[in-house]
Amino acid sequence: MHKKGCSKSVCQCFIVPNYILENMALNDVEAARVSLAKSRQMRRRRIFKEYDIKGVTALTDAGSGRHGESARHVYDCKGGTKLRVNEARKEGDRSSGDHVVNQAYDYSGVVRDYFKEVLHRNSMDNEGLDLILNVHYGNKFTNAYWDGDEMVFGDGDGIIFSNFADSLDVIGHELTHGVTQFTSGLEYEGQSGALNEHLSDVFGVTIKQYHLKQTAADADWLIGADIMGPTLKGQALRSMKAPGTAFDNKLMGKDLQPDHMRNFYKGERDNHGVHINSGIPNKAFYLVSMEIGTDKAALIWFDAMQNLFATANFNQFVQVVIKAAQKLADGGTVPHTAIKTIEDAFKAVGLPE
């Protein structure tokens, strides 16, 4: 089954799922209504763009860096919707006068360096793909997304959501969609789509913990806590530690994420629950990290990520993760006890079925 204008391997992955924005629009949040309309427009336009992306990633190699070396390019949309127009800061440039430009530049650098230094991956495609970041997109646009070869950030409405570039876990999440696209290409639908979302959440929080030098026990395990505006401070988009508890308010509705297969979401919304059922593997990753440390868990998950295939389901994912743990344990990178820890963590969320 295939829906909503994303190809099998390349998806427009928004950080705020539509079902949340729809709830906000029903509650008369004008910015949410406008953002939803904008997203629909972009999806339609997107169909044409995909032909460009496939095979023509050179398109993104916008210059400056040496070949094979990923360079950052931050563009300022200045409230408009044209991408890659006004370059505000490129690799090596001094700090800009614009805080948002600098945040996008710095955080994307943190993500790129994490993949390179810790996971030995050279940018999203492992060939030094440039990082293109468009900030100040649209008027009060309440979302951020990865679009196959670039990122786009809205400023938020300043009330419910603040600026989307102001969050390391959001940028880590979105850029990890790029890594998934260039590795397994997990289809953005149903269980494979929930795994796609899961992996983005995993590296979003892992990179944040690494950057802040936090342990699994210190960390908040939230996605998007930094982008909540004054009205909803203290809430977030997702919680890996306690899926289903990230938000509960009139504007956004209630967090629908399950933390166990018994509550698996079977409805049609959200591409059959890609941002909803990701709560199940998210909880398992949290449990594993609490036992063996987030850094070791991330090494196992990253190995698994490269051995997945586009239609993988939850059961198959469990197998691939255990195989990755076995391999890394044999190589001495993680303790042998990690295998049992992973089996127990998945069992705790009802997997395999």
Interaction site with Zn ion (CB under 5 A):
6, 13, 188-189, 200
Is 164 within 8 Å of 223 (Cβ atoms)? no
Task: CB nearer to Zn ion: give 157 or 197.
Answer: 197
d(C-alpha 300, C-alpha 322), whole Å: 8
**How far apart are CB 45 and Zn ion at their closest, in Å?**
16
d(C-alpha 49, C-alpha 53), whole Å: 7
- Among 150, 174, 189, 197, the one annotated catalytic: 174
**How far apart are CB 240 and Zn ion at their closest, in Å?**
13
**How far apart are CB 196 and Zn ion at their closest, in Å?**
7
Neighbouring residues of 39: CB distance < 8 A, sequence distance ≥ 6: 12, 14, 18, 143
- Among 73, 177, 198, 275, the one annotated catalytic: 275
198 is catalytic: no
Structure tokens at 176: 């990890």
Instruction: Report the 10 Å Cβ neighbour count for 232.
Output: 18
Task: CB nearer to Zn ion: give 134 or 341.
Answer: 134
**How far apart are CB 271 and Zn ion at their closest, in Å?**
6
d(C-alpha 28, C-alpha 137), whole Å: 22
Task: CB nearer to Zn ion: give 130 or 189.
Answer: 189
Structure tokens at 160: 């419910």
- Which residue from 227, 353, 181 is spatially nearest to 281, judged by alpha carbons? 353
Task: CB nearer to Zn ion: give 189 or 303.
Answer: 189
Is 310 within 8 Å of 186 (Cβ atoms)? yes
**How far apart are CB 96 and Zn ion at their closest, in Å?**
27
Element (H, E) at 86: strand 86-90
Is 171 within 8 Å of 150 (Cβ atoms)? no
Task: CB nearer to Zn ion: give 13 or 288.
Answer: 13
**Looking at the annotation, which residues are catalytic?**
174, 275
